[in-house]
């Protein structure tokens, strides 16, 4: 059945229904119910539509809000980007400034290195020269390309690269030490050398920076000063000798007077014999022999005085210290008797020989005996004693740790105060009255003993006396 037929049928049924009131009324009610339902459905649909519209509006508002947030975020990101761009530009400007400052610093450092009067040498870890400054080329006479790539020990006298790096690896730097560089012409340049290790971030050695200063002029000045000091010291020693000799003049004059008196007596006796015609040849021979003996004694005293006071360099010889002591005691034998001072000696008979300058060691002995004499005179005692003793000592007991000869000079002058003891060997220190001493005797004596590789020490007891102990090394056998 087609659509037109169905429409026609419906109209016919509707017309027939109108003919039936009851049925028509029911149809109207059904139609109203249907329309109400349709209306309710429409209302429900409308409400759903309105709800959907509200939801869509809320979604739209949320979308608008999200869009605004996105726009705000983009604006913030744009501001951050602009700030980052500004910071980047500042960093680039700062880097450019830093690079400029770094270039200036490098140029300044290069200028300092070029202007350094000290030699600067940069070494690789194996001791190969990597760089030098102008001073190296000037002092050593090499061109830079002649030095780059060679080992540093090639231009050092008696130095091994391993020795240099060994000490540096332990200490990280070397304190200033003297080393000798070789110039291109083979000349030796004494230098004051120091080095420092360069390490990388992993603490490995990257190289060594070495600085060396030419000290040729300083060395020459030091030699000149040493010579002047040597001359001055010799003059002081000579002055002290003459001072000691002046103090002993009374004893020396007595030593000279004694043989002169003997000669005078013999001469007077001969003169009387001749006048009385009692001349006997055998007596004349004996008298002449006695005169000769006394003249020899005088000559010996005068010669010893001449040797003792002459200016001379150190002359070391093998000798027994006892002979030197005996010779020194001759200066005092008569003088000490005048002062009621007893001088005794206890000289060892089995002493080994030592290498010494007899005049210098005698000067030390004379000085110590003279000091003991002066100390005893100040005490005004009548039982003054000076004792000299020598003995040997082996390596186990010697202060020198080897076989030695010990000289002890002891007095009973009451000892030396502690405050004096601390300064007793200082030059020009003296406890004597002005004009009575130079203050150089003990300082010179100490220097003489040390030049003989020995030691001088003091043992003192308050109220008793002092003992000066000199230890000198014996000559090794064989």
User: Tokens 């005068």 label which residue?
Assistant: 302
Q: Burial of 179 by CB count in 10 Å (0-12 exposed, 13-18 middle, 19+ buried)?
A: buried
> What local confidence, expressed as pLDDT, does residue 403 receive?
92
- Which residues are 435's β-sheet partners? none
Range scoring the smallest mean pLDDT among 128-132, 289-293, 435-439: 435-439
How far is it, in rounded angstroms, from Cα 230 to Cα 445?
15
Once rounded to an integer, what is the mean pLDDT over residues 27-54? 84
What's the confidence (pLDDT) of residue 398? 87
For residues 180-195, average pLDDT: 89
Can you tell me the distance from the alpha carbon of 409 to that of 424, in angstroms, rounded to the nearest whole number? 16
Q: Which whole number is the average pLDDT over 39-46?
A: 85
What pLDDT was estimated at residue 241? Answer: 59
**Triad 412, 416, 420: Cα angle to 5°:** 160
Query: What span, in angstroms and rounded, lies between the C-alpha atoms of 132 and 109?
Result: 14
The residue among 105 and 158 whose pLDDT is bigger is 105
User: What is the number of helices (H) and of strands (E) in the chain?
Assistant: 13, 12
Half-sphere exposure of 50 (CA within 13 A, CB side): 6
How many residues appear in the chain?
478
Specify whether the CB–CB gap between 129 and 150 falls below 8 A: yes
Residues linked to residue 209 through DSSP beta bridges, in sequence order: 122, 196
pTM of the full structure: 0.48
Average the pLDDT over each of 21-25, 39-43, 128-132, 144-148 and give the range with the smallest value: 21-25
Stronger pLDDT, 139 or 195, i.e. the higher one: 139
399 pLDDT exceeds 90? Answer: no
Give burial (CB, 10 Å; 0-12/13-18/19+) of 347. Answer: middle
Structure tokens at 314: 């150190």
Q: Which pLDDT band holds residue 283 (cuts at 50, 70, 90)?
A: low
Query: What's the rounded mean pLDDT across residues 321-329?
Result: 88
- Distance of alpha carbon 350 from its chain centroid, rounded? 45
Mean pLDDT of 105-126: 80
What pLDDT shows up at residue 161?
Answer: 52
Over the stretch 437-469, which tens digit does the pLDDT of each residue have? 556 678 888 888 998 999 999 998 877 899 999
356, 385, 381, 357: which is closest to 369 by C-alpha?
385
Q: Do domains 119-214 and 314-478 have the same CATH topology?
A: no
Mean pLDDT calculated for residue range 267-292: 70
Domain 119-214: CATH architecture, name and number where available: 2-Layer Sandwich (3.30)
| Mean pLDDT of the residues in the chain | 79
How far apart (Å, rounded) are the C-alpha atoms in residues 156 and 161? Answer: 10
Instruction: Report the Cα–Cα distance between both ends of the chain, in Å, rounded.
Output: 157
Tell me, what's the pLDDT at 350? 87
| Predicted pLDDT at 118 | 86
Residue 429 gets which letter from DSSP?
-
Residue-level pLDDT at 197: 82
Residue-level pLDDT at 27: 72
Closest CA relative to residue 404, chosen from 456, 349, 354 = 354
CA dihedral 436, 442, 448, 451 (to 10 degrees): -150
Q: What are 72-81's pLDDT values in tens digits?
A: 889 999 998 8
- Distance in angstroms (rounded) separating the CA atoms of residues 217 and 100: 41
Q: What are the structural domain ranges in the chain?
A: 65-115, 119-214, 314-478
pLDDT band of 357, cuts 50, 70, 90: confident
248 backbone dihedrals φ, ψ, rounded to 5°: -100, 10
C-alpha–C-alpha distance, residues 187 and 139, integer Å: 10
pLDDT band for 311, please (50, 70, 90 cuts).
Answer: low
Q: Does position 134 have pLDDT exceeding 80, yes or no?
A: yes
Residue 212 scores a pLDDT above 70: yes
For domain 314-478, give the fold.
Heat Shock Protein 90 (3.30.565)
Mean pLDDT value across residues 318-330: 88
Highest mean pLDDT among 146-150, 207-211, 267-271: 146-150
Query: Could you tell me the sign of the dihedral formed by the alpha carbons of 99, 104, 105, 106, in that order?
Result: positive
Integer Cα distance of 421 and 458 in angstroms: 8
Helix, strand, coil share (%) of the chain residues, nearest 5: 60, 20, 20
- The pLDDT-based confidence of 38 (bands split at 50, 70, 90) is confident
pLDDT band at 386 (very low <50, low <70, confident <90, very high): very high
Residue 158: CB atoms within 10 Å: 8
């Amino acid at each position: 059945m087609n659509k037109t037929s169905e429409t026609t049928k419906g109209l016919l049924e509707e017309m027939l229904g109108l003919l039936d009131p009851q049925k028509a009324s029911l149809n109207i009610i059904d139609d109203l119910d249907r329309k109400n339902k349709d209306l309710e459905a429409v209302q429900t649909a409308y409400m759903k539509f309105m709800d959907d519209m509200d939801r869509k509006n809320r979604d739209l508002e949320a979308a608008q809000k999200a869009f605004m947030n996105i726009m705000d975020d983009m604006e913030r990101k744009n501001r951050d980007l602009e700030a980052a761009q500004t910071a980047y530009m500042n960093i680039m400007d700062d880097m450019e400034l830093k690079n400029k400052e770094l270039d200036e610093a490098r140029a300044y450092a290069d200028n300092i290195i070029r202007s350094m009067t000290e030699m600067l040498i940069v070494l690789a870890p194996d001791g190969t020269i990597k760089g030098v400054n102008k001073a190296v080329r000037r002092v050593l006479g090499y061109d830079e390309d002649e030095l780059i790539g060679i080992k540093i020990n090639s231009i050092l006298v008696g130095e091994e690269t391993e020795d240099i790096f060994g000490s540096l690896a332990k200490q990280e730097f070397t304190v200033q030490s003297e080393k000798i560089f070789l110039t291109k012409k083979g000349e030796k340049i004494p230098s004051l050398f120091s080095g420092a290790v360069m390490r990388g971030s992993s603490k490995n050695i990257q190289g060594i920076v070495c600085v060396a200063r030419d000290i040729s002029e300083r060395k020459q000045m030091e030699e000149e000063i040493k010579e002047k000091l040597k001359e001055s010291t010799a003059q002081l020693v000579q002055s002290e000798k003459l001072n000691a000799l002046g103090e002993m003049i009374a004893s020396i004059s007595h030593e000279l007077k004694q043989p002169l008196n003997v000669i005078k007596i013999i001469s007077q006796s001969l003169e009387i014999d001749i006048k009385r015609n009692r001349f006997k040849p055998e007596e004349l021979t004996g008298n002449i022999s006695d005169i000769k003996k006394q003249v020899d004694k005088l000559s010996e005293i005068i010669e010893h005085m001449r040797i003792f006071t002459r200016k001379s360099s150190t002359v070391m010889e093998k000798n027994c210290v006892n002979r030197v002591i005996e010779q020194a005691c001759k200066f005092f034998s008569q003088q000490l008797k005048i002062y009621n001072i007893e001088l005794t000696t206890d000289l060892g008979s089995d002493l080994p020989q030592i290498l010494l300058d007899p005049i210098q060691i005698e000067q030390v002995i004379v000085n110590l005996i003279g000091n003991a004499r002066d100390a005893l005179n100040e005490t005004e005692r009548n039982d003054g004693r000076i004792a000299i003793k020598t003995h040997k000592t082996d390596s186990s007991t010697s202060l020198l740790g080897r076989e030695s000869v010990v000289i002890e000079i002891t007095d009973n002058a009451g000892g030396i105060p502690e405050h004096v003891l601390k300064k007793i060997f200082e030059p020009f220190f003296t406890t004597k009255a002005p004009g009575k001493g130079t203050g150089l005797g003990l300082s010179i004596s100490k220097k003489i003993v040390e030049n003989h590789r020995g030691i001088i020490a003091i043992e003192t007891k308050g109220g008793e006396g002092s003992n000066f102990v000199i230890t000198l090394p014996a000559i090794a056998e064989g």
